[in-house]
Amino acid sequence: MAIREQVHMQTPWQYTEVPEMDDVLFQQWVELLEIRTGIALPESRKTFLVMNLASRMREVSIDNYQSYFNLIMDGSSGQVEWEILVDRLTVHETRFYRDEFTLDLIRDKYLPELTTTKDKPYTVHAWSVGCATGEEPYSVAMLMDYYFLNHPEFYYGVTASDVSRAALQTGRDGIYHQRRVKNVPDEISNTYLEKVDDEHVQVRPSLRQKVCFTHINLLDLSQQPIGKMDIIICQNVLIYFKRELRNLILDQLATCLKPGGILLLGAGEVFGWTHPELSQIDYQSTLAFQRRADIDEPGIDEVRK
Ligand SMILES: C[S@@+](CC[C@H](N)C(=O)[O-])C[C@H]1O[C@@H](n2cnc3c(N)ncnc32)[C@H](O)[C@@H]1O
């Protein structure tokens, strides 16, 4: 059949109006998102919510918000649908080597101190909390791998966690567009990235093996079997949470640090939070805390017992 005839036979494209969302419905969705993820959606983000809901509702042939809400609340099929929706309602913006000062702190201050003070062999455990599609944990893994080339008795592993299963899968695949890796220093990118095609690169298998992607909702931290960490990096995540919840999660993350371990936040993301066992690290343009080396608190999982 000629292409012209095939085109005429196709269902014509139809413009579908995005349904109106009144304040009551908006509040209902805001509450659901906050209860399940901690994300507080302000009125100014209503368009974001509406557009993403409408787009997903079109895919599942539902034309009103209440029916879709009922589907989300409906037992295990609702849970499956929620996993898809949560990926649409969370912001996954990220980049390789996004916060260069934080990475400088790890490379130029923390690791040199660690390699001179720890008994060898030693394994460094790092955790990227709210890792999105993997650029942050891979950046930390690349940095450590490269650093430890000169310290053969040091090993490392990175845990990368997020609430979005789709984002985690992208991280596991480790394939990125060239423009997403443009901040990676040449010697690092030559060592850890390989070309897939003219537009994409992939993280080399040897480095991918060092990063374990796992589903953790920050609201469920107290139910997770989390071991003690040397490095916890949590950037551009807690900005979406209300202050009390943010502080509660920070307290929980603090208990996951080994003595001497560091908690790295985004500069300017958190105000007025302190912890009795952590002291703030003075390092240019960063917001970082270190657990006192003489205090070995039980981790969250141990507190539960
Ligand atoms: C803007 S990205 C930050 C990515 C990376 N940390 C960075 O700074 O480049 C925020 C991530 O936090 C995740 N997130 C939001 N709420 C979460 C929750 N309750 N538990 C775990 N991850 C969450 C989102 O899915 C998203 O991938």
pLDDT tens, position by position, 164-182: 999 999 999 999 999 999 9
Q: Predicted confidence band at 17 (pLDDT cuts at 50, 70, 90)?
A: confident
Provide the pLDDT for residue 294.
78
Residue 10 pLDDT > 80, yes or no? Answer: no
- Rg, C-alpha atoms of the chain: 22
Helix (H) or strand (E) holding 224: none
pLDDT at 224: 87
pLDDT at 217 over 90: yes
Question: Relative to the CA of 217, which ligand 1 atom is closest?
Answer: 20
Structure tokens at 173: 């695949």
Ligand 1 pocket residue status of 17, Cβ below 6 Å: no
> Residue 33 to residues 41, 51, 301: CA-CA distances in angstroms?
8, 15, 26
Q: What is the pLDDT of residue 18?
A: 86
Whether pLDDT at 12 is above 60 = no
pLDDT at 225 (0 to 100)? 86
The percentage of residues in the chain with a pLDDT greater than 90, rounded to a whole number, is 87
- Give the CATH number of domain 3-89: 1.10.155.10
d(CA 161, CA 113): 27
C-alpha of residue 131 to centroid of ligand 1, in Å: 6
SS3 call for 249: helix
Q: What is the pLDDT of residue 304?
A: 40
Minimum-distance ligand 1 atom for the alpha carbon of 216:
21
CA 301 to ligand 1 centroid distance, Å: 22
Helix (H, G, I), strand (E, B) or coil at 288: strand
CB-count burial class (<10 Å; 0-12, 13-18, 19+) for 200: middle
Residues of the chain with CATH 3.40.50.150: 100-304
pLDDT at 303: 41
Dihedral sign, Cα of residue 153, residue 283, residue 158, residue 169? negative
pLDDT digits (tens, 9 = 90+) for 225-273: 899 999 999 999 999 999 999 999 999 999 999 999 999 999 999 999 9
- Residue spans in the chain of domains classed CATH 1.10.155.10: 3-89
C-beta 93 within 6 A of ligand 1: yes
**CA 213 to centroid of ligand 1, rounded, Å:** 13
Closest residue by Cα to atom 16, ligand 1, is 37
Each residue of 77-136: pLDDT tens digit?
899 999 999 999 999 999 999 999 999 999 999 999 999 999 999 999 999 999 999 999
Residue 160 Cβ inside 6 Å of ligand 1? The answer reads no
Give 1 Cα–ligand 1 centroid separation in angstroms: 49
Query: Does the CB atom of residue 189 touch ligand 1 within 6 A?
Result: no
On average, the pLDDT of the chain sits at 93
87 lines ligand 1 (CB under 6 A): no
CATH code reported for the domain at 100-304: 3.40.50.150
**Which pLDDT score, from 0 to 100, does residue 195 have?**
97
Does residue 249 have its Cβ closer than 6 Å to ligand 1?
Answer: no
Q: Ligand 1: does its nearest atom lie under 6 Å from the Cβ of 286?
A: no
- Closest atom of ligand 1 to CA, residue 135: 9
130, containing H or E segment: none
- Per this entry, what is the length of the chain? 305
Q: Whose CA is nearest to atom 19 of ligand 1?
A: 37
